[in-house]
Amino acid sequence: MIVGGGFAGLNAAQALRRAPVQITLVDRRNFHLFQPLLYQVATGGLSPANIAAPLRGILRRQRNVQVLLGEVVDFDPAARTVILNDGQLEYDMLLVAAGVQPSYFGKEEWEPLAPGLKTIEDATEIRRRIFVAFEAAERETDPEKRKALLTFVIVGGGPTGVELAGALAEIARYTLRREFRTIDPAEAKLVLVEMADSILGTFPEPLRQKATQSLERLGVTVRTKTSVAEIQPGEVVLRTADGARSVLPARTVLWSAGVKATPLAERLAERTGAERDKAGRIVIQPDLSIQGRPEIMVLGDMSHCRGAEGKPLPGLAPVAIQQGRYAARAIRQRLRGQKPPPFRYRDLGIMATIGRSAAVAVLWGWKLSGFVAWVLWLFIHLMQLVMFQNRLLVFVQWAFLYFTFNRSARLITGGGGGKAEAQESPPKPPQS
Amino acid sequence: MIVGGGFAGLNAAQALRRAPVQITLVDRRNFHLFQPLLYQVATGGLSPANIAAPLRGILRRQRNVQVLLGEVVDFDPAARTVILNDGQLEYDMLLVAAGVQPSYFGKEEWEPLAPGLKTIEDATEIRRRIFVAFEAAERETDPEKRKALLTFVIVGGGPTGVELAGALAEIARYTLRREFRTIDPAEAKLVLVEMADSILGTFPEPLRQKATQSLERLGVTVRTKTSVAEIQPGEVVLRTADGARSVLPARTVLWSAGVKATPLAERLAERTGAERDKAGRIVIQPDLSIQGRPEIMVLGDMSHCRGAEGKPLPGLAPVAIQQGRYAARAIRQRLRGQKPPPFRYRDLGIMATIGRSAAVAVLWGWKLSGFVAWVLWLFIHLMQLVMFQNRLLVFVQWAFLYFTFNRSARLITGGGGGKAEAQESPPKPPQS
């Protein structure tokens, strides 16, 4: 039984292709989502389907897998059953890879004001907010309100925050250029807020510097050593490391400051006595199983797995993929009566893109930046997409984006039946 | 002032490119939607963005147009203002082209049970229902309930109903083939219900026959002279012309039986004293204006415009496009002090596709069917898409669909946060 069809769950299922096992893959979605490109859906560059691949389609030829659409809500390890919101399923061996969700560090009331980016629905909602803000600014006559509509705050300077900020800068500077009659979208103020000394804390120093410079060249204000003290409709209160507070009127706030395990991890820990870390992730053994529960393995972002230097492995696609493949190998070894060796993560590197023609990357031990890193970023992400059709569609859209700056997927959909509401209070009409 | 960025409104704006006028185009969406392909979004063949083009992007170079996102709710013809839900806008000349919505002929309570297909949100909701039904059937153990989950009823045998039925048949027979382990999607029962003697009533007799045969070959049951007496969760009550009733257990019902003007038409008629037809459309003069209100023209599906033989023109894209261009020409003539000649519709033909490799069409007076009609259908629809990028993306996806049968955009999104609920009561789990 595999819970979750993300990188870990899908790779585990695929690597068990020739194993003498019957696999049930349960996911509450009918598709595998390529999360590293989700920010491009949120910024109108790609359509949701371009980065999603139907799980049934991927696994159709693998006869030992049954894919089920269902929402797992609890576990009963004694009875070896997984409990869905509408039934239950039995297992012999359980792999749980249910991922993470945005964490607001106890300020959950900020969620509606500052959405995070983990699902397709998150992405289309963020897309709606970004483009509605420009639309409302075009109709706003009060200069103060207009300024707030054109101020975008991104909280959290990790790869997702940096990529969102870069894409937003491109939208404001290039995509929307000449499309408005009252406002100049290039006047939009983009603020990237990061609590630590520097953005991209997981990258080595020269690359952090390079990324900051690239963002600033695109017009993004990078505010490090700054945290969010409060979020209210229409404003964000920032606090610097020395305690000074400042109020920033801003209508659009995006959250990429951190993640935590889903409530499912809490259930699993309760039922198995497993330890959880501060982010709610389940602390696992070197063979990815839960202590005292060798038949339950936890994979991917949901797990807290110590790497070679004793630090927990980061929540990256390569970690999840390698864990999924390891789990499959470990199951095959156990079926042969062998004891699996501990999981070892082979570090493939990290990368982040900053708008067009710029990226930073650590690959094979090399530090790369600028155009070379960007081309590598494009190539690696394109090749990682699951279906060939999606590779082609993404390639076509990237080519158009590069040459025409157009973002054809910038639709305002959902959110109160497509009404042009600007989040909280409606904008005033212009004098026509 | 143009209300609505559909075929009529957009073409009117574009045809006024060189006129000495200032144009404001108001739409509650930020995109022009190519509605003839909306059924392909509803059936997972295309992504919403592929058939939508941002209005600002289309009109960016036309300096005499300002595009505004806003929802028009009323009019004040005496003050020459359009009233939005959050303000008002003044006009000298008003073109209203706000389209239609599904009509349930007084049974509005059926709407949540049998959604119509007019917006992107409708399309993604229908897509969700279709694919959730197959997913729920895979997990359903009760054969009766499973049968109801695999029964799809399409109400209304016009082009949209025929196209939906054809696409559904392809999904069941080809796309989902071998993807399930418990059910055989090909056993899905597809019923197309039409009140009249024949489907595609606007087509000449031999083509109606051909379309019926094509649908039946795909496994669709075509029930003519049959109407819907009642829709309940999980079942549809059908009534034949002789009054006999039969109950059809079906979980998924799609509505394409008719349209009516939006509430905006009612407002406009109230304020101007204009006559409305049974479908709520505004009866207009030969110059497309409202009687006694030469400064207000009504265009597209929203208008009831008599054709050459005295019959009202159908709600087709070519009618709306020609009316939009006529309105622009009439405005230019009036500015020169000329009286515009009456609008005349040049009939370009009608067409409908029935799954792969089959279509029916009346073009340039010729009656076409089969593969030739289908290729023409593909070509004409591809060329009508507004942006070149979308043409290329749609072409790539059609090519993949043709050769691989895969529908890459078949995502289940929305609807209660992605939960696998099967509309009303949840399915039981299988014994695993």
Q: What is the ipTM of this complex?
A: 0.91
**pLDDT recorded at residue B429:** 40
Query: Is A112's pLDDT higher than 70?
Result: yes
In SS3 terms, B295-339 reads as EEEECHHHEECECCCCCECCCCHHHHHHHHHHHHHHHHHHHCCCC
- Residue B54: list chain A partners with CB under 8 A: 408, 410-411
The whole model's pTM is what?
A: 0.93
Q: Where do the DSSP E strands lie in A34-160?
A: 52-54, 65-69, 72-76, 81-84, 87-90, 94-96, 100-102, 151-155
Whether residue A272 is found in the same domain as residue A328: yes
Whether residue B235 is found in the same domain as residue B284: no
**pLDDT recorded at residue A414:** 84
Query: Is A190's pLDDT higher than 70?
Result: yes
**pLDDT recorded at residue A417:** 37
**pLDDT recorded at residue B356:** 85
Confidence of residue B415 (pLDDT cuts 50, 70, 90): confident
- Residue A413: list chain B partners with CB under 8 A: 48, 120-121
Burial A285-303 (b: 16+ CB within 10 A, else e): bebbbbeebeebbbbbbbb
Minimal C-alpha gap between A309 and chain B (Å): 38
Phi, psi of A195, deg, nearest 5: -70, -35
The CATH code of the domain that includes A284 is 3.50.50.60
Confidence of residue B417 (pLDDT cuts 50, 70, 90): very low
**pLDDT recorded at residue A402:** 87
Domain stops at, among A240, A257, A274:
A257
| A347, part of any domain | no
Query: Is B121's pLDDT higher than 50?
Result: yes
Domain, as residue range, for B301? 2-28+70-103+260-335
* CB contact residues (below 8 A), chain B span 182-221, against chain A: 182
Whether residue B314 is found in the same domain as residue B269: yes
Whether residue B172 is found in the same domain as residue B289: no
The DSSP call for residue A48 is: G
Among B97-101, B356-360, B419-423, where is mean pLDDT lowest?
Answer: B419-423
**pLDDT recorded at residue B423:** 38
Whether residue A264 is found in the same domain as residue A147: no
Query: Is B318's pLDDT higher than 60?
Result: yes
Question: Cβ of B278: how many Cβ atoms within 10 Å?
Answer: 9
| B233, part of any domain | yes
Domain stops at, among A305, A335, A365:
A335
Q: What is the rounded average pLDDT of the residues B400-423?
A: 70
Distance spanning both ends of chain A, measured CA to CA: 62
Instruction: Round to whole Å and give the CA distance between B209 and B379.
Output: 24
Tens digits of per-residue pLDDT, A354-406? Answer: 988 899 999 988 999 999 999 999 999 999 988 888 899 999 999 888 888 88
| B365, part of any domain | yes
Query: Taking CB atoms and an 8 Å limit, are B1 and A70 in contact across chains?
Result: no
**pLDDT recorded at residue B405:** 84
| B52, part of any domain | no
Q: Which residues of B are catalytic?
A: 163
Tens digits of per-residue pLDDT, A131-159? Answer: 999 999 999 999 999 999 999 999 999 99
| A367, part of any domain | no
Minimal C-alpha gap between B25 and chain A (Å): 12
Phi, psi of A264, deg, nearest 5: -60, -35
Whether residue B363 is found in the same domain as residue B400: yes
Among A86-90, A206-210, B276-280, B399-403, where is mean pLDDT lowest?
Answer: B399-403
Whether residue A123 is found in the same domain as residue A175: yes
Tens digits of per-residue pLDDT, B30-70? Answer: 999 999 999 999 999 999 999 999 999 999 999 999 999 99
* CB contact residues (below 8 A), chain B span 325-364, against chain A: none
| A357, part of any domain | no
Sole residue written with tokens 């800068």: A169
Beta carbons of A253 and A113 less than 8 angstroms apart? yes
Minimal C-alpha gap between B174 and chain A (Å): 12
Instruction: Round to whole Å and give the CA distance between A116 and B228.
Output: 44
Instruction: Round to whole Å and give the CA distance between A374 and A352.
Output: 9
Whether residue A265 is found in the same domain as residue A163: no
Whether residue B373 is found in the same domain as residue B265: no
Query: Taking CB atoms and an 8 Å limit, are A60 and B178 in contact across chains?
Result: yes
Structure tokens at B40: 């392909």
Tens digits of per-residue pLDDT, B177-188? Answer: 999 999 999 999
Among A104-108, B101-105, B309-313, where is mean pLDDT lowest?
Answer: B309-313
Query: Is B428's pLDDT higher than 60?
Result: no
Q: What percentage of chain A carries pLDDT values higher than 70? A: 96
Among B1, B54, B69, the residue with its CB nearest the CB of A410 is: B54
Whether residue B150 is found in the same domain as residue B83: no
Among A392, A421, A426, the residue with its CB nearest the CB of B396 is: A392
Beta carbons of B76 and B84 less than 8 angstroms apart? no
Query: Is A408's pLDDT higher than 90?
Result: no
* CB contact residues (below 8 A), chain A span 71-90, against chain B: 71, 84-90
The CATH code of the domain that includes B378 is 3.50.50.100
Whether residue B138 is found in the same domain as residue B166: yes
Q: For chain B, how many structural domains are there in total? A: 2
Whether residue B252 is found in the same domain as residue B165: yes
| B429, part of any domain | no
| A193, part of any domain | yes
- Residue A71: list chain B partners with CB under 8 A: 419-420
Domain stops at, among A220, A242, A257:
A257
